[in-house]
Structure 1
Amino acid sequence: MSSDHEPLLLQQEDEDIINNITQTHSLLKLTRWFLKFAMLFVLIAWIAFLLLLPSESVSQLSENYVDATSGSVFWVTGNMFLYGGPIFIIAFLGILYLRISGHQEFQEKKKPKNASFRLWTFPVIVDGPFGVVTAAELIVILIVVVYLIWAVSVYAVQNYNLIPYYESQGKRNVMLKHTGLRFGSIGLICLVFLFLPVARGSILLRLTNIPFEHAIRYHVWLGHLTMTLFTLHGLCYFYSWILEDRVIHQVLDWKNYKIANLPGVISLSAGLLMWVTSLPPVRRINFELFFYTHQLYIVFVVFFAMHVGDVLFSTIAAGLFLYMLDRFLRFVQSRKTVDVLSAKCLPSGTLELVISKPQDLEYNALSWVFLQVRDISWLQWHPFSVSSCPLSGDHHVSILIKVLGNWTNKLKGHVLSANEDQTEVDALIRPNLKLQASVEGPYGHESPYHLMYENLVLVAGGIGISPFVAILSDILHRVNDSKPCMPRNVTIIWAVKTSEELPLVHSLDLNSMCPNFYNRLNLEIQTYVTQESEPPLEEGDLQKYISPCDFLSPSRSSMSRLVGTGNIMWAGAYVVVPAIGLFVSLTLLNVLYIIPYNVSYRWYKGLLLLICMVTSVIIFGGLVIGLWSRKTSSSENSQDEKKSIGIQHSESTSQKTSSDESCIKTIKYGQRPDMKEVFGNIASRWGNVDIGVIVCGPSTLRASVAEECRSKNFGRKCNSPIFHFNSHSFDLSLPTKQGKEPVLPSQEKTKWH
């Protein structure tokens, strides 16, 4: 009897398990939707409050709230919560959302019946002061412009109504001072957002899936707007002092109970110096000048805190605090040196470095790392895109470096330095190279968006092919491992100067990555050699480069796991614990020091607030980092120390055009890609589908690709595709002068760290 019922019981148990899984999945999905709605509601309410702040009703309500909370034991936490609290709330909810979502393997989505437009991938403005601007970015820009016009208009009316109350001071003086005050108020709102885009591993960037190389543009835009407003703020006051004939007295004035002028002058001077050296004409001439003067942001922030005092400085505290957290974590991560497992010098003047990484350090095929080689420079950090995919090896990351300026030439010379008895080939391939580097990252998109399109067009210029090598490898490995992978049609458009660069792509052994991949993937590679009219005579004699495939080295030092884009639990704790510690510290400071000792100097309390923020980052953030390091160290010791590096053979290409059963490769000499013709052919072949376009290269290439995407989308017919523009270029990382290479802002380790 029992044996007859066992299958029924097992079947019932299986059904119960399936039901439980379904219910759990539904509950998690419902929770994610709730968190999304909550974060969106908080964001909209917060933005609406900031936009309506110039109105008298909202401004009066804000002043009443600040007055009520500032006199309590909580000191400035009330004002900080009003202006910056939504940032913390969204960050905390975002941590829960990312934790519930978990690191899920990319899932193929159902193919849409028709192509559809997306605001964030639809280029609207191509040539202009903002570069390539999508429809979503344009909407935000228009909202900011409307807000500025409305705020200035409202404040102008309010200032005009105040003139009768200040007749004795003169109408011009009254208008100048109050106009300067209003410009400063608007600039303060811009400063609330200024530091958010430059926090590379920020929870907010992970939540919105905006990588740092995109977010830095918003920091640049906000920086120009903020400094314009603060400059107008300073000029209005300075002119009013000229009218009063009290310029020297007012500049040197340092009030204790009101706004202190001298700290404001110092802060504005530091800001102006940063602003002027960040303008394109100056940055193109001398990028290092821009980088080093940009470290004056510390002077700007410190004296700004003393200028406005504790209450007003608490307005920008949330965004600044998140940046401090990110900066401190990057500082700790970069203290660890990493072994370069192997290095290769390719004929095209390109270096390939293979860097050791922990097995559980996650990244995707469109990630960036920041590299410092102390044997070359203790100050310079350089960003490079990853050229390996996560599926090509658990213990290493590969990057391609184009030799263009001083730093990369020194790196190449260091790699090629060999003993006299070494042959040339031995010098070019140095697997036992004693080279160490410091690494920050990896950073990039939270999700692999290149897998979200069934049809892909990858457009690269020169070394811009590096991330596309990673994308191609990622797709092939997924096809080979039968993992979810949406791309079915991939076209690579690559423009190079000389044929020496061709082996970077044309020598890849695609069949070794995925045998018979052509059954599931249509791949076409179109290469344009712009400075050669025909193939070189000795093209078939290009040297092969093979690196050893196995490293058994327990002593090898790998990249640190301490990265903001890493484990969400630890990254979340690193935000939550210091934030709570900050609020507790402010309250204790107020109860134990400010109230008992009757501390009332406005500038001094602003400085105390800044010091409390820094100490909270170091103490509470350092506590989390210590526990995080201890946890990762024990995890690292338990892992297998064997680190495998895949072999990559470079084979020469001797034919001008080749086509086989796996891939169509076309090489055209003496011409540049005609984007109109290329996109026209693709549109006619693929029909009414969504096509993801990813471009990596100089600004002129990005502009031409964006212009063609816009043209095709605006002139689209019912049976035509929609081109979704995506840029994977780091504007600030491009060399700006012959023999000069830039370093990104905020990369040098500054004193306050």
Structure 2
Amino acid sequence: MAMDGVLEQHQVPLLSNVCYDASTKKTTAPPPPPPHLSLPLFFLKWALKILMWVITIAWVAFVFFYPSEFVQRLYTQWIRHSSGTLFGRTGSAFLITGGPVLIVVFLAIGYVIASSPENFHDNRFILPITRKKPKFKGFRLWTFPILVDGPFGIVNAAELIGILLFAVYIIWAVSAYTLQNLNILSKFTLLSWEKSSLMLALMGSRFGTIGLFCLAFLFLPVARGSFLLRLIDVPFEQATRYHVWLGHLTMLMFTLHGVFFLWGWAMQGRLLREMLRWPNIGIAILPGVISLFSGLLMWVTSLHPVRTNYFELFFYTHQLYVIFVIFLAFHVGDFIFSIASAGIFLFILDRFLRFCQSRKTVKVVSATCLPCGTLELVFSKPASLQYNALSFIFLQVRELSWLQWHAFSVSSSPLDGRHHISVLIKVLGEWTRNLGARVSLTPEDSLKERLLHHYRITASVEGPYGHESSYHLKYKNLILVAGGIGISPFLAILRDIVHHLAQKAPCMTEKVSIVWAVKRSNELSLLYSLDFESICPCYADKLHLEIQTYVTRESEPALEDGKVCKRMNCSYFPDVDNSGISGLVGTGNKVLSGLYVIFSTIGFIALLSLVDLFYIKPCGISTGWFSGLLFVTCMVGSVVTFGAIMVVLWHLWERRDSSYERCMKDGKHEEVQCIEPIMSTAGNPTTLGSLSSIQYGCRPNLRGRFLNELSPLSTNNSFFWHS
């Protein structure tokens, strides 16, 4: 009877914020707010969107046509006429090359804030949001696949357009610069080897310029919490592939830049002497050699065979980006470095914020050990930290490693609970095995042993990262294909859909088909841990759910009458403090995040002006590498001073919200005690496992299935896969 009471008490999932009646087994939730957008916000969003498009197109056009003599002449005249201003030549160059990027970021901050869900209802001037059903089937550039099997992987229409634009730019730039170099050589009377040496130097310089413009884009996709990624709703894990493509292109240009100069110096017989030059005036050669060498190390270790087989070598070598950037600034000075400085500055902003978030320890609310060797960890989070299904977090456990961060998909829905978030972790490598050993407990462990075990886990979290919108709710039919633990984000999608059905929130999904391939039958316990009827008792009447499971390495069901073992070891830890995930990164407070970017940028401009006004001009600083050092120092200094002020205010804001929530809970909240592990019943008919058809010793026929069910041009279908 005692165990039955424990089971009945915890039939509602730990991650739950809906009202649940144990006697009727029904859930209730308040109706969602009406989808209205205030009229002023409507016009503000359109004005911001048009302005962002105009600035972006103008900036891209400048970069694309910069190799032409006409644009270079206009740019030179602009620098000459504005060199006497407060910021001098460097400020003028930064305003043209990096300023538009920062301006678009500022506008994106306003647009993202104006697009927040809390702004979609107003008591005054309201504009109903209606979506007309398209008469004809079409496709979206971001979702329509063009290339499936190729060197770039799966490429959609928008990505293919970007690849073609960069390819055309490289061909056009090399052609234009080659013609200009030949025109320069025709004005001199030189020997054959002298012409060859000069041509190599000119082409090396041109490749360096192209590489700098590629570098201007390189750091934009890896700023995880960037408002640019939020603006276009491209999650960080998808944008990383753009960083990979741009990294290959950038290093190719810089490698050609270095090879052409080295070739020319070797022809002149002064290779070693030139490589070691570090003059005070002009280009410093030795810092460029150091920067190129560190870049080559990052490039080689990032190649797919090395990254796959020696990931830690790739990860640690990639930290040489600090050396790469600093010595690049030494090499070219502040004037040329300003071309690529905007993207680097945005990355520094994001990196500092991630560093501040990762310093905070996060409380583990519960740990569940499944028989398939999978762990479910539930973390505490503030109610203000929002995320969507298909999000993921980076997790570090300091007792295991101070350097290793591992990415895990979020397995909970944002509607599961305002104060919790969960992940599923498959025990495979050494790190996950050690983690499982620390959180695994047995029913015989005493309360003291459980608490000591819990306190020995010091977790830090970065994120969550993911889409700004729940786009999986916009399709009538979903086909989800997963392998092994790759099903965890799809469990979050299913929970999100069922919660929307329970709360009568907007959700277009009517049918979900899951194709799941696993190696062993013990992995099926993931499905038996979910009971959707506790969320929405009548979800089966609104959602057609079909699950096809394939056990590839077993030819017949397991013993015990073919039933899959569904025994779980679950441990709950007491709520001893309020150590939740910080909202500094990911989908945290948009207003404070925007103020952090704006305030740091203003601080950067202020530091540049102060250094130029009170140090560079009075002292007559003309050293190229030293001016580059001052420029990088201003970038970093503005983030760790002005940005740190906003981080402190942000932290105080979070503490105030936490204190307010605790005050609201006084007298109502019952502290969760550490209880005995819950053993799920084997014959529960409401779990996903009972809805699954299992086939042994075969693999799914995806081609035939998709040809029958999925139309490529249909706007009512969506296809996701995860492994």
Give 1:431 shift: 9.4
- Measured in 1, the distance between the counterparts of 2:318 and 2:301 equals 8
* Native 8 Å contact 1:345 1:428 kept in 2: no
- Kindly provide the amino acid, as one letter, of the partner of residue 311 in structure 2: F
Segments of 5+ residues of structure 2 without an aligned counterpart are 1-33, 121-128
* Equivalence for 1:733: none
- Kindly provide the amino acid, as one letter, of the partner of residue 690 in structure 1: N
Cα gap change, 1:56 to 1:139, in 2 (>3 Å): same
* Native 8 Å contact 2:384 2:588 kept in 1: no
- Equivalent residue for 1:195, pick from 219, 241, 249: 219
* Equivalence for 2:722: 696
* Equivalence for 1:264: 288
Give 1:448 shift: 1.1
* Equivalence for 1:249: 273
* Native 8 Å contact 2:525 2:564 kept in 1: no
Cα gap change, 1:593 to 1:48, in 2 (>3 Å): same
* Equivalence for 1:726: none
CA RMSD of aligned residues (A): 2.9
Q: Larger deviation: 218-227 or 628-637?
A: 628-637
Report the TM-score when normalising by structure 1. Answer: 0.84
Give 1:256 shift: 1.7
Counterparts of 1:204-603 in structure 2 under 5 Å?
204-416=228-440, 422=445, 434-538=456-560, 539-540=562-563, 542-545=565-568, 547=570, 553=575, 555-603=577-625
Runs of 4+ in 1 over 6 A off after TM superposition: 21-24, 105-108, 425-431, 643-649, 658-663
* Equivalence for 2:29: none
- Measured in 2, the distance between the counterparts of 1:22 and 1:209 equals 20
Cα gap change, 1:649 to 1:467, in 2 (>3 Å): farther
* Native 8 Å contact 2:215 2:340 kept in 1: yes
Residue aligned with 1:390, SS:
coil
Give 1:359 shift: 1.6
Q: Larger deviation: 317-326 or 687-696?
A: 687-696
- Measured in 2, the distance between the counterparts of 1:637 and 1:591 equals 45
- Measured in 2, the distance between the counterparts of 1:49 and 1:687 equals 36
* Native 8 Å contact 1:511 1:517 kept in 2: yes
1:140-174 CA-to-partner distances (Å, cap 9, x unmatched) read: 10111111111111111001111133433621011
**Is 1:50 paired with 2:78?**
no
* Native 8 Å contact 2:510 2:542 kept in 1: yes
Give 1:428 shift: 11
Residue aligned with 1:668, SS:
strand
- Kindly provide the amino acid, as one letter, of the partner of residue 67 in structure 1: R
1:181-224 CA-to-partner distances (Å, cap 9, x unmatched) read: 11111001000011111100011111110100001100000000
1:666-709 CA-to-partner distances (Å, cap 9, x unmatched) read: 1111111101222133249x996621111111xxxxxxxxxxxx
* Native 8 Å contact 1:54 1:151 kept in 2: yes
Cα gap change, 1:350 to 1:661, in 2 (>3 Å): closer
* Equivalence for 2:43: 30
- Measured in 2, the distance between the counterparts of 1:271 and 1:126 equals 30
1:459-499 CA-to-partner distances (Å, cap 9, x unmatched) read: 11111100011110011111111111111111111111111
- Measured in 2, the distance between the counterparts of 1:667 and 1:500 equals 12
1:373-418 CA-to-partner distances (Å, cap 9, x unmatched) read: 0000000000111000111111111100111111111111222367
* Equivalence for 1:725: none
- Measured in 2, the distance between the counterparts of 1:138 and 1:564 equals 27
Give 1:112 shift: 3.5
- Measured in 2, the distance between the counterparts of 1:245 and 1:547 equals 72
- Kindly provide the amino acid, as one letter, of the partner of residue 699 in structure 2: R
1:622-644 CA-to-partner distances (Å, cap 9, x unmatched) read: 01111111111111111136599
Aligned length: 670
Residue aligned with 1:438, SS:
strand
- Measured in 1, the distance between the counterparts of 2:342 and 2:506 equals 39
- Equivalent residue for 1:79, pick from 89, 93, 106: 93
- Measured in 1, the distance between the counterparts of 2:481 and 2:468 equals 22
- Measured in 1, the distance between the counterparts of 2:506 and 2:440 equals 41
- Equivalent residue for 2:73, pick from 60, 67, 71: 60
- Kindly provide the amino acid, as one letter, of the partner of residue 621 in structure 2: V
* Native 8 Å contact 1:342 1:433 kept in 2: no
* Native 8 Å contact 1:459 1:492 kept in 2: yes
Cα gap change, 1:23 to 1:690, in 2 (>3 Å): closer
* Equivalence for 1:720: none
- Measured in 2, the distance between the counterparts of 1:261 and 1:689 equals 55
- Measured in 2, the distance between the counterparts of 1:660 and 1:591 equals 69
Report the TM-score when normalising by structure 2. Answer: 0.88
Counterparts of 1:701-712 in structure 2 under 5 Å?
none
- Measured in 2, the distance between the counterparts of 1:653 and 1:134 equals 44
* Equivalence for 2:154: 132
Cα gap change, 1:71 to 1:417, in 2 (>3 Å): farther
**Is 1:622 paired with 2:644?**
yes
Give 1:105 shift: 9.1
1:10-68 CA-to-partner distances (Å, cap 9, x unmatched) read: xxxxxxxxxxx999822221211111111111111111110000000001111222233
**Is 1:103 paired with 2:126?**
no
Cα gap change, 1:571 to 1:258, in 2 (>3 Å): same
- Measured in 2, the distance between the counterparts of 1:23 and 1:449 equals 19
Q: Larger deviation: 552-561 or 103-112?
A: 103-112
Residue aligned with 1:57, SS:
helix
Cα gap change, 1:553 to 1:653, in 2 (>3 Å): closer
